[in-house]
Amino acid sequence: MVFSSPEFLFFFLPISLIAYFAVPQKHLKWRNLVLLLVSLVFYGWGEPVYVLLMVTTIVVDYIAGILLYRYENSPLKRKRVLVGAIVINLAILFFFKYYDFLIGNLRLIPGLSFLPLLELELPIGISFYTFQSLSYVIDVYRGDARMQKNIVSFGAYVTMFPQLIAGPIVRYATIDEELRDREHSVLLFTSGIRTFTAGLAKKILLADMAGALWGYFAAVPAGARTVLGAWMGIVFYAFQIYFDFSGYSDMAIGLGKMMGFGFLENFNYPYIARSITDFWRRWHISLSTWFREYVYIPLGGNRVGRFKLYRNLLAVWFLTGAWHGASWNYILWGLYYFALLVIEKTFLLKWLDKIPVFFRHLYSLFFILIGWLLFVSEDLSSGMLLLSNMFGANTVGFASGQNVYDLLRNLIFLAIMVIAATPYPKTLFYKLYEKKPLFRTLTAVGVMVLLVICTAYLVSSDFHPFLYFQF
């Protein structure tokens, strides 16, 4: 089940909210139970067998938290519990996500072709909820969060349907207090509706339309492409993945507000970045934060010599690429950003600070687009072919009449996406919302209109799952 589906919007969500708020505020633990149960139903809607896998993760990490508390005065035992929990969690993730990838590559070695491929189906959201649950164990081990005695509350944290499938990854330390005591109000609920609707509009009205255009350009045979067509295709993909993923994050944050949770923002207008370093402070913030807190800093962060700094960055970006999928193109994508960040840290950032902001934006967008090319390619050969097309090789020319027509026809749509990818609409909205009472009324009407428009598109168009579901 996905947020942008009629069954979620008009069946699951209303019933879940009614059940949740039917429990009095003073019985928060019972509200957590309702949240746990509806989240398990949400996850099991499409693949009920994998609910058992998630429950296993909950039980393992809940027991680990209990043991960490029990062995408070025994550092060695605490470390063993931590290592054990990490090994079990990552073993489950590795088996389902990377086993076939590893075996498939080993089978290429002479004499190893007998190794069996299991052709396992990847459980939806396993990378997200595994990292989220692990953050609890690590936070309790470090003393950054208290042990959660109530397995229902802990289970609600791991399975929380608003951000279960595609994030944001909520670190336990940031939500510990809200699991024990959180506020619910009409203002927070209506704010959640606005945020959710904005995310839904991003997905339905921007991401899906951009995705259709990316599909149109990508379908052009390699030998019939033009330079302009190749660039237009990857630009539309860049907008698709941004509005798709940030739209889901906004919907998750909005749903969290409705239930009293304050999830941290996952995107901060990444396409206005002035460097690749800046881009990764703005894109998928929860994943970057997770790797920084639980991999980069424990390895020594940047408070080490140059060699160890590069080693730490290599570890983080190899894992970041692998986290996105069991495929060489994702690993190459991670290593691509590792190389760019090393270059920036070594000398380029100092030079970038001296040039006009406009050229810093161009530099960033150029390398971000090349990165998306690596990310979206099904294999390295098709990726390299599209890259060569973008620079004039293996094409039928710079542009065709059809390209020019396609560009002009979609110019307004492109302009809308460019504006929507900047902070200006949000800044203007809040200025008007705070100063103009009439605008607040118009906002309520606008939200209802957006919901109607999105619903109309849902009913009349094909189903488009969120891109990050595959991770």
CA distance 203 to 198: 9
Do residues 174 and 212 both lie within one domain?
A: no
Are 129 and 164 a contacting pair, CB within 8 Å? yes
DSSP string computed for 144-160 = SS-----HHHHHHHHH-
Is the residue at 426 inside a domain? yes
Residues of the chain with pLDDT under 70: 1, 461-471
Per-residue model confidence (pLDDT) at position 221: 86
What are phi and psi for residue 354, nearest 5 degrees?
A: -95, -10
Per-residue model confidence (pLDDT) at position 303: 82
Instruction: Please report where in the chains the tokens 């990377």 appear, as a residue.
Output: 98
Do residues 202 and 56 both lie within one domain?
A: no
What are phi and psi for residue 334, nearest 5 degrees?
A: -65, -45
Per-residue model confidence (pLDDT) at position 246: 95
Do residues 196 and 107 both lie within one domain?
A: no
CA distance 77 to 94: 25
Domain assignment of residue 76, given as a range: 6-181
CA distance 385 to 394: 8
Do residues 79 and 218 both lie within one domain?
A: no
Q: What number of other Cβ atoms are within 10 A of residue 268's Cβ? A: 14
Per-residue model confidence (pLDDT) at position 380: 83
Do residues 156 and 63 both lie within one domain?
A: yes
| pLDDT one-digit tens code per residue, 177-216 | 999 989 889 999 999 999 999 999 999 999 999 999 999 9
| pLDDT one-digit tens code per residue, 66-91 | 999 999 889 999 999 999 999 999 99
Instruction: Please report where in the chains the tokens 């959201």 appear, as a residue.
Output: 125
CA distance 15 to 8: 10
Residue 269 contacts by C-beta under 8 Å, 6 or more apart in sequence?
282, 421, 422, 423
| pLDDT one-digit tens code per residue, 134-161 | 999 999 999 999 999 999 999 999 999 9
Name the domain count of the chain. Answer: 2
Do residues 319 and 348 both lie within one domain?
A: yes
CA distance 131 to 320: 12
How is residue 286 written in tokens?
């929860």
Q: Which residues are catalytic?
A: 324
Do residues 284 and 340 both lie within one domain?
A: yes
Smallest CA-to-CA distance from 159 within 257, 2, 289, 42 is with 42
Do residues 177 and 201 both lie within one domain?
A: no
Residue 37 contacts by C-beta under 8 Å, 6 or more apart in sequence?
none
Domain boundary among 181, 197, 228: 181
| For residue 162, cis peptide bond before it (omega within 30 degrees of 0) | no
Is the residue at 318 inside a domain? yes
Is the residue at 1 inside a domain? no
Domain boundary among 113, 147, 181: 181
Q: What is the pTM of this model?
A: 0.93
Domain boundary among 140, 157, 181: 181
Is the residue at 155 inside a domain? yes
Residue 94 contacts by C-beta under 8 Å, 6 or more apart in sequence?
none
Per-residue model confidence (pLDDT) at position 133: 95
Do residues 280 and 259 both lie within one domain?
A: yes
Q: What number of other Cβ atoms are within 10 A of residue 190's Cβ? A: 16
Is the residue at 374 inside a domain? yes
Per-residue model confidence (pLDDT) at position 208: 92
CA distance 373 to 425: 28
Per-residue model confidence (pLDDT) at position 310: 92
